[in-house]
Chain A
Amino acid sequence: MKVPLRFIVNSEPQELLVEPRQTLLEVLRDELGLTGTKEGCGNGNCGSCTVIMNGVSIVSCCTLGVEAEGKDVLTVEGLAQGGKLHPLQQAFIEGGAMQCGICTPGFLMSTKYLLDNNPHPTEQEIRLAIAGNLCRCTGYDKIVRSIMAVAQGSGG
């Protein structure tokens, strides 16, 4: 049976009918068409479903859609503002921090959460903050360097 869900996604209020068993990930992708957030493992072990809810980074595959009632969710689609890329998005492009790109949205969200709370992290702090995001293409080197560029102020 479907239940109402009212929440804000990327600054836009949404009103939906969802089944309680639909995860937040499913709601974002299947009900709202926001397919930027990905499913890689289904149990919180790869981070590709990372979104920011009420300012906190979470794995949306381990969260029910109904738990987002009244909350404010930010996905990768909401990072760019007014047609302008977020400094992290710019840094990832310039730093060659993507190959296939499937993990990129998750990394961007985890990194935004990191920098919002710790604007100048060290390399180790960065690696710890993104340890919950798996990448299989890059070996993380260029991802970490791109984040460091922003953390040190040279990336925007």
Chain B
Amino acid sequence: MREFDYKAPRTLREAISLLAKANGQARILAGGTDLIDQLRTRRRTAGLIIDGKTIPDLNRLDYAARRGLRVGAGVSCTSVGNFPAVKERYHAIQESCLLIGSVQIQNRAAVGGNFCNAAPSADTVPSFIVLGAKCVIAGPKGKREVLAEEFFAGPGRTVMAPDELLVEIVVPPPPKNSASHYLRFIPRAEMDIAVAGVASYVQLSPDGRCIAARIALASVAPTPVRAKEAEAVLIGKKITEKEIQEAGEKAVLAANPIDDVRGSIWYRKELVKVLTRRTLGECLATLGQKS
């Protein structure tokens, strides 16, 4: 690895100041499970590593009835996935967080890191997207919020400026009669990067019609994407097997995958159909409905 300096700031202000002074040469370190390997293999470079785990502002994990869930950028997947409010109300987030890598990886990998690494295959991202999450970004000019689905600019790139950092991700409290699930496909049972991943969110009216649906896809486009054509199939309808099939077919329209060592274009599109159907089915099952 090339040499770099390391700082562990205690406050957000200190971190922002260090970031600004580094002139684009600094990177924030969360869990390290992506960044350290990238530094070792020189896919990313940094003159200064700023540890995000020593800043209290980046490590909050709480839930309040009105504000919803707050996940600090430095909080590990294990902590998020096992947080009671997440287990009760945000199934897709729980599922995402507890299937990344291995136990050891989850113990370090932070949701914030998963976001900032901005791989198209990031497993946590689709779940936060379909649950309406917002990313809270801080920089020298202050804080701003960006919808999770608008946080990504391309493979490995976010919309943050070089002097900005991700503080936390906030997720509104889910309405009654809603459910969310995440599924991904990998060739082994654990450890792999998703060949494709789908998160679905469904909210039903008291008489069982779908009043909101959000579907987000991982690993099948340069960034995580919403499958809006698929969502349109569901909204306003009572979701039956027919709608689920059609949503699966339509979800492919949002996909623009590449061929790589993990899958071909054809296969990824097939998986989008399957995973969309299956996550929708799970949402309905959670809501006590049979499709």
Contacts and interface: CB of A to CB of B under 8 A. Distances in A.
Contacts of B78: 56
A105 interface: no
Nearest to A134: B191
A14 B105 CA distance: 26
The 6 closest A-B pairs by CB, nearest first: A132-B102, A20-B6, A131-B190, A43-B37, A21-B1, A59-B104
A15 B37 CA distance: 26
B103 A45 contact: no
Nearest to A66: B6
B108 A63 contact: yes
A113 B39 CA distance: 28
A52 to B, nearest CB: 10
A131 B190 CA distance: 6
Chain B CB within 10 A, most for which of A1, A61, A131 = A131
Interface in B72-103: 78, 101-103
A62 B33 CA distance: 5
B260 interface: no
Contacts of B37: 42-44, 62
Interface string B93-127: 00000000111110110000000000000000000
Interface in B29-60: 29, 31-33, 36-37, 39-41, 49, 51, 53
27 contacts: A3-B6, A19-B3, A21-B2, A21-B3, A21-B4, A23-B36, A42-B37, A42-B40, A43-B40, A44-B33, A44-B101, A45-B191, A47-B102, A56-B78, A57-B103, A62-B32, A62-B33, A62-B105, A62-B108, A67-B29, A110-B103, A110-B104, A131-B102, A132-B102, A132-B104, A132-B190, A132-B191
A69 B10 CA distance: 14
Contacts of B29: 64, 67
Contact of B104 (A58, A67, A69): A58
Interface string A1-42: 101000000000000000111010000000000000000001
Interface of A: 1, 3, 19-21, 23, 42-45, 47, 50, 56-59, 61-64, 66-67, 69, 110, 113-114, 128-129, 131-133
A151 B281 CA distance: 36
B207 interface: no
B78 to A, nearest CB: 8
- Chain A interface main SS type: mixed
A57 B101 CA distance: 13
Nearest to B189: A131
A57 B104 contact: yes
Contacts of B105: 44, 59, 62, 132
Contacts of A129: 103
Given A3-B6, A59-B33, A63-B108, 18 more contacts: A1-B3, A21-B4, A42-B40, A44-B102, A44-B105, A58-B108, A59-B105, A62-B32, A62-B36, A62-B37, A63-B32, A63-B36, A64-B49, A66-B6, A67-B32, A69-B8, A131-B191, A132-B101
Nearest to B33: A62
Nearest to B49: A20
B190 A56 contact: no
A22 B51 CA distance: 15
B55 to A, nearest CB: 14
A21 B4 CA distance: 7
A116 B151 CA distance: 38
Nearest to B106: A132
A128 B190 contact: yes
A98 B114 CA distance: 35
Given A45-B191, A62-B36, A64-B49, A1 B104 contact: no
B41 to A, nearest CB: 8
Interface string B170-201: 00000000000000000001110000000000
Given A20-B49, A67-B32, A57 B5 contact: no
A23 B190 CA distance: 25
Nearest to B190: A131
A44 B113 CA distance: 15
